[in-house]
Amino acid sequence: MRVIFIGPPGAGKGTQAEVISRQEGIAHISTGDILRKNVAEQTDLGKAAREYMDAGKLVPDEIIIGMMEKRLGEKDCRKGFILDGFPRTVPQAEALEELLDRMGLCLDAVILFQAPDEIVIRRLSGRRVCRSCGAIYNKRSKPPGEDDRCDKCGGTLYQRDDDREEVIKSRLEVYKGQTAPLIGFYRDKGLLVEVDASRESAEVVADINRSVKGSQ
Ligand code: AP5
């Protein structure tokens, strides 16, 4: 299975990617997670990306494309992958197309997570993430266990810097201006599958499984 998840911030791409990648035994590649790790470790990549991320803007295409060329060549991608948060602009989508061509691979589907602004804003304001293993929680829909610690590894939970209200607004605008054009790009290629992401996680996962397995 080789799929892309696109959709507004907070639509549930990371949450459902975690479930499906485990179920299929394929790589879950989140550009946001890779970037946040680099920011935390203060690598050159992290230093270059930080100011864009804090402002809710996109990191420049050349940085992202170089990072993904390297990541997609790693061994765990051979069986398949879910791209969560990449591509996010038309130049990134074109670069991915070229890269997959060179690797002799093709995509099975591009899943569009659809959810209205009020739902994604509510989800993002309640999101908490484990600092150690990256597990995603939500104060309302998926509360963590005791003492606000991660149920899986006991790590501490934190609120992402870009989940502040003013940054969420800017991320939604960036999505509509720079990422939404990908909807037409992939629809024209016959790859787009639209999913109602405002429903419960289990229903969204079942829908994705049905659509992707039907297209393989
Ligand atoms: P990134 O980390 O990719 O952020 P995003 O796309 O804005 O997506 P999110 O992680 O916010 O949302 P999600 O859809 O994964 O939702 P989640 O599953 O967590 O990118 C961050 C930044 O990095 C960008 O702003 C940019 O600066 C940079 N970047 C990354 N990729 C880039 C690229 N390709 N090019 C340039 N720059 C790039 O769910 C949200 C909450 O809702 C959670 O609390 C969850 O528990 C809950 N939830 C999920 N599903 C449900 C459900 N069905 N019902 C109820 N609650 C739910």
pLDDT tens digit string along 31-62?
999 999 999 999 999 999 999 999 999 999 99
Pocket test for ligand 1, best of 13, 15, 69, 113 (most atoms within 8 A of CB): 15
- Partners of residue 129 on adjacent β-strands: 136, 158
What is the share, in percent, of the chain residues with pLDDT greater than 90? Answer: 95
> What pLDDT does 145 receive?
82
The pLDDT confidence band at residue 213, using thresholds 50, 70 and 90, is confident
Q: Which of 37, 131, 139, 160 is catalytic?
A: 160
Q: Which atom of ligand 1 is nearest to the CA of 85?
A: 3
Q: Which of 13, 79, 176, 213 is catalytic?
A: 13
d(CA 203, CA 51): 36
The rounded Å distance from CA 190 to ligand 1 centre is 25
Tokens standing for residue 125:
């304001």
Tokens standing for residue 173:
């605008």
Contacts by 205-208 with C-beta closer than 8 Å and gap 24+?
205/16, 205/19, 205/20, 208/16, 208/20, 208/111
> What pLDDT does 89 receive?
98
The pLDDT confidence band at residue 215, using thresholds 50, 70 and 90, is low
Q: Which residues line ligand 1 (CB under 6 A)?
A: 7, 9-15, 31-32, 35, 52-53, 56-59, 64, 85-86, 88, 92, 123-124, 126-127, 136-138, 141-142, 162, 171, 200-201, 204
The pLDDT confidence band at residue 10, using thresholds 50, 70 and 90, is very high
Q: Which atom of ligand 1 is nearest to the CA of 9?
A: 7
> What pLDDT does 147 receive?
78
pLDDT at residue 214 above 90? no
The question of whether 171 is a catalytic residue gets the answer: yes
Give me the mean pLDDT over the 93-103 stretch: 96
> What pLDDT does 68 receive?
96
> What pLDDT does 216 receive?
56
Is the bond preceding residue 8 a cis peptide, omega within 30 degrees? no
Give me the mean pLDDT over the 62-87 stretch: 96
Give me the mean pLDDT over the 4-21 stretch: 98
d(CA 127, CA 32): 15
Give tens-digit pLDDT for 142-183: 999 877 899 999 999 999 999 998 999 999 999 999 999 999
Q: Which of 2, 123, 127, 128 is catalytic?
A: 127
